[in-house]
Amino acid sequence: MQRMTIPFALVFTLLTGCSAMRTHEARDPSGQLIGSNVLDLVQTVGIPDKTMKLVDSNGPNDRMEVQWNFSNSDAALDMNALVLDLKVGGADKCSMTATVDRWGGKVLAVNFPQAHSDSIGSDYGACEPLVYEALEHNPHTPIDPHWDAFSLAGK
């Protein structure tokens, strides 16, 4: 049993590290998502679950917050032993939010504020499918500075 402890810890660390890397890549200001068009996110991860106008002055500083919720019930390893409930590998809930410039729909920031971390690695593991789609299938639509992103919220 002691011989398996170190290899198990190493494999576990590598698996959770892969999910964490993608999530950090999505938040990176020099990455693919920051500066892209919000329509690209809608095309890759779907219609947002929530939209909220942060500033609505009809000026150049208007912003909107867009949120996608994702629930993943599949875990690579799910153990229940007495009082220990251990889920490894992505079974949980994830929320991804994007702050968007109203005029043109440029993504200014991406965050994962409500990723639940009640199990080891799940805060990143649950977000991994959402982040994968956003990063790998981003069509890089040009930004039209006259397009009103508030149209996603129904004005």
One DSSP character per residue, 47-112 reads: S-SEEEEEE-SSSTT-EEEEEEEEEE---SEEEEETTEEEEESS-EEEEEEEEEETBT-BEEEEE-
pLDDT value of position 152: 86
pLDDT at 14: 47
**Does the pTM exceed 0.75?**
no
Polymer length of the chain? 155
Residue 135 belongs to what H/E stretch?
Answer: helix 128-136
Q: Which of 41-55, 66-80, 129-143 has the lowest mean pLDDT?
A: 66-80
Q: pLDDT for 68-84, tens place per residue?
A: 888 766 544 455 555 54
The pLDDT of residue 119 is 46
* pLDDT 10s digits, 9-40: 555 444 444 445 666 566 666 677 899 999 99
The Cα 44–Cα 138 span in angstroms is 6
Q: Which residues pair with 47 in a beta bridge?
A: none
Is a pLDDT exceeding 70 seen at residue 5?
no
Each residue of 71-120: pLDDT tens digit? 766 544 455 555 545 555 445 678 889 999 999 999 999 988 765 444 45
How many helical (H) and strand (E) elements, i.e. helices and strands, does the chain have? 4, 6
pLDDT at 133: 84
